[in-house]
Structure 1
């Protein structure tokens, strides 16, 4: 009964006749049941359709069709099942890169490594001498471990980059045990590849950036910790490969990250190298920017309220943080790189002259919390 009432109210809100309502609700029912109702940013008891009614009601009647079209034709919602599939592509991608590196070492075509005794031996060793480290809680290292049970050991997966000396000792001891079990001899039991994994990057700034002449971000921080603790040559080889793998990236972040890693690598007095890979890269065509339809650009700007900004996001982010312009929602949260109209929430105004009070369709859980707020 509530569902039927909700549909009737939404059809009236949109001005749909019976035929259009029938067509649209068939599509909505599919995506809501399969994806949107499973968004983890909703409070207990809350579902997508309730948020959709509230979200759509904030717009003037003339703008509702444009807002609905944003959801109907542009929204990219990555469900948990889809994300787990992308996690599952990580190890096969890394294994392919490992095999290609072995082919280059031996000076043979990659296709010739299968059945080649020395190549197969080196591939086996390199796979064992790879450690996977999560860059955030979105890295889903638990899923990565379960999907590759038997192929990679528990000691090869670490949930966070801040690794204690005892933990490093433990994972190296695990490598020694694996070498003994598989009769791998005359090979130092230290890692030659570090795979840093994370779920999503849109601008690349949290991974690596140059701020006032100083290198910041997850990668420089990790490398600094490794240097300070003298891990290179002890727990990992001096010429190890640092592979940074994201389950989802953008065309913008891929180019920026590659350039910054090259520049950063040149500043290091180390033999290490970097390689950035992805399970999926979002094409530039999905981006919403000033080249989008005039109605959509006007909608995003007109209903934007600058009070959703903070010291981390910067100013004028109706196209999202760093102007990434993504219409993307992940099952566990909405990136602030996505257009603000999808996720931004602001408090009611006290003055009628102030701008629109934004209501989110997919409420975002902030990583950075203002002083005095609870997490």
Structure 2
């Protein structure tokens, strides 16, 4: 970096602080090759004249969600998202104001019953169901939290039995929360390529419908109410993803035949605003191509230090989002975001891509990504 002593002293101090407080906790870093070593290797791929821009981007624009920060978002899920919704629902049932629910024993008992009739379903490892359970010990029953959505018939039966044991023979789950850690584009949750439904929402709907049909043949009760309220909750979401989810869920409500759920509610623990993005979208053309109205230096690096072999490797996945390259990450989200357990493919590839330079410049990751798409 050609720093003089004064600059080097200042920057090394910042690097030691940020490494120990946050970045060294990244799950793919190992002893001897943590953030500082990875940063040195990453900067070396750039020409010397480009290194200040790359370093400045890491220092000024990178958003890193640490383990502790993610835990805090998970801990606030029940009190700040679920509780206000249920309090309003109970107040409507009792014909009182929401703030009056806990003023009487009847209101408190009604709230507890309503909370017990909520089912929480993790959609991936990122849903951190273990953290959610620990944070709500004594508040949630173990029999209303499912770590993964692939539920077998025996589990559905046990959910029904335990709920009836707690609340009576007619008890059903009235609210189902589908929980995941992060969404940046909102495009993969539910989509209709070639007119056929795909995505996590459709997968869960199919699991529910198939299990309900099998248990009906066995004359067993199914634990979900007809037309239950479906809540889609991400611990962290971008504004782009929130808006896209609303549009796609509306489409799903129209296209899914005989769906099991009724109203849908989209929530998030932390909503990231549009202005965190590295570059702006030219909304006039609506073609998801970036302009250089902001972050000009890093945008330039995204173009020049890019290997199109990355796109070829993920071509099928990318074409579903209407992309022709991966310079700005999946769905052209252009995010400067890294999560402590992995880097989303919606972040700019300069942060996470590793290629050999077959169709451009070889790419060296700063935060290596575990890529489930190949």
Q: TM-score, normalised by structure 2?
A: 0.87
After TM superposition, give the deviation of residue 321 of structure 1 in Å. 0.4
Name the CA distance, whole Å, in 1 between partners of 2:195 and 2:87: 37
- 1:227 positional shift: 1.6
Going from structure 1 to structure 2, the CA distance change for 1:34 and 1:313 (only over 3 Å counts) comes to farther
Deviation at 1:148, TM superposition (A): 0.8
Say which of 90, 109, 133 aligns to 2:121.
Answer: 133
Matched, 1:75 2:57: no
Structure 1 residue 119 displacement after superposition: 3.6
Uncovered stretches (5+) of structure 2, i.e. residues with no partner: 280-290
Are 1:337 and 2:346 counterparts? yes
Alignment partners' CA distance in 2, 1:108 and 1:258: 30
**What TM-score, normalized by structure 1, do the two folds share?**
0.87
* SS of the residue 2:325 aligns to: coil
Give 1:150 shift. Answer: 0.8
Aligned length, in residue pairs: 346
1:56 match: 43
* CA displacement, residues 44-88 of structure 1 (integer Å, 9 cap, x when unaligned): 642111111111011111111110111011101111111111111
Instruction: Determine the C-alpha separation between the residues in 2 that align with 1:116 and 1:306.
Output: 64
Q: Which moved more, 1:42-51 or 1:140-149?
A: 42-51
Is the contact made by 2:157 and 2:222 (CA closer than 8 Å) also made in structure 1? no
**1:365 counterpart (355, 361, 370):** 370
2:256 is aligned with 1:274: no
Partner residue in 1 for 2:325: 316
Task: Specify every segment of 5 or more residues in structure 1 that has no aligned partner in the other structure, as ranges.
Answer: 1-13, 370-375
Distance 1:287 1:109 in 2: 40
Q: Distance in 1 between matches of 2:309 and 2:123?
A: 30
Q: Are residues 1:202 and 2:184 paired?
A: yes
Write the mapping of 1:117-266 to structure 2, written as runs, cut at 5 A.
117-177=105-165, 179=166, 184-185=167-168, 188-230=170-212, 234-266=222-254
Which residue, out of 91, 99, 103, partners 1:103? Answer: 91
Q: Aligned residue for 1:286?
A: 276
CA deviation map 1:147-190 (0-9, x unaligned)? 1111111111111111001011122222233x2xxxx45x6232
Partner Cα separation in structure 1 for residue 39 and residue 244 of structure 2:
35
| More displaced 10-residue stretch of structure 1: 28-37 or 287-296 | 287-296
Equivalents in 2 of 1:257, 1:105: separation in Å? 29
